[in-house]
Chain A
Amino acid sequence: GQQLNQSPQSMFIQEGEDVSMNCTSSSIFNTWLWYKQDPGEGPVLLIALYKAGELTSNGRLTAQFGITRKDSFLNISASIPSDVGIYFCAGQNAGNNRKLIWGLGTSLAVNP
């Protein structure tokens, strides 16, 4: 099935650094979602974006819905060890049961 281009594939950073990751698509979406998955757990929703150009924050996390509706980025500021995990973007449109189209994930490691 369709998957989104998500980059980088993995990141290894020092605690306190800022992190940026992004997703791009060949088709437009009405909604962009960012999830975090810890090992052996299901994904947890971090941020949901509903309008092109929208910039939304959740604590140290900031995400934007690209103006073309074909991309989105997620920034994490001042990373801490518990930020470790895999981050997934997902795009969604109305109809078709609103199923999610997933990125391939960004694996984040934080060195304390």
Chain B
Amino acid sequence: GAVVSQHPSRVICKSGTSVKIECRSLDFQATTMFWYRQFPKKSLMLMATSNEGSKATYEQGVEKDKFLINHASLTLSTLTVTSAHPEDSSFYICSARVPGAVNEQFFGPGTRLTVL
């Protein structure tokens, strides 16, 4: 149980385009999902906390108009990188908290975004 998927696993896009990344909890309902960004050989950096049915809470320094988060259902959260630029190239990872497993987060496999 507690499987989280992400789609796509890898995306290459042109500068100026927008890219949507999906995060799904496959066998449980996740009221809270988290979006992270990770640079090579670095730790995970929390971008935002996504609560189903409400606006996401963004971490300091993360532009909410640049990184649009939608958590429309209990099994799906999306991150849209708008008007992507090469500096947005990174590894984006989502996680979901399992109801009942109060303190544990389970992670998706990540999405590698490359902006040309």
Chain A interface residues (CB < 8 Å from chain B)? 1, 3, 30-31, 33, 35, 40-45, 48, 50, 88, 92, 97-100, 102-105, 107
Contacts and interface: CB of A to CB of B under 8 A. Distances in A.
B70 interface: no
A39 B41 CA distance: 10
Interface string B77-116: 0000000000000010101010000111111111010000
Contact of B95 (A3, A31, A42, A88): A42
Q: Looking at chain B's contact residues, is the secondary structure mostly helix, strand, loop, or mixed?
A: strand
A107 B42 CA distance: 10
B45 interface: yes
B103 A48 contact: yes
B49 interface: yes
B51 A97 contact: yes
B46 A88 contact: no
B110 A88 contact: no
Contact of A40 (B41, B42, B112): B112
Interface residues of B, number: 29
Nearest to B2: A45
B43 A45 contact: no
Contacts, number: 62
B107 A97 contact: no
8 contacts: A1-B45, A3-B43, A42-B6, A50-B103, A97-B51, A100-B46, A104-B42, A105-B41
Which 8 interchain pairs have the tightest Cβ spacing? A42-B107, A31-B103, A97-B49, A102-B43, A42-B110, A42-B93, A43-B107, A42-B109
B60 A1 contact: yes
Nearest to A104: B43
Contacts of A44: 107
B18 interface: no
Interface in B14-65: 32, 34, 41-46, 49, 51, 57, 59-60
A85 B106 CA distance: 18
A98 B44 contact: no
Contact of B102 (A40, A88, A98, A102): A98
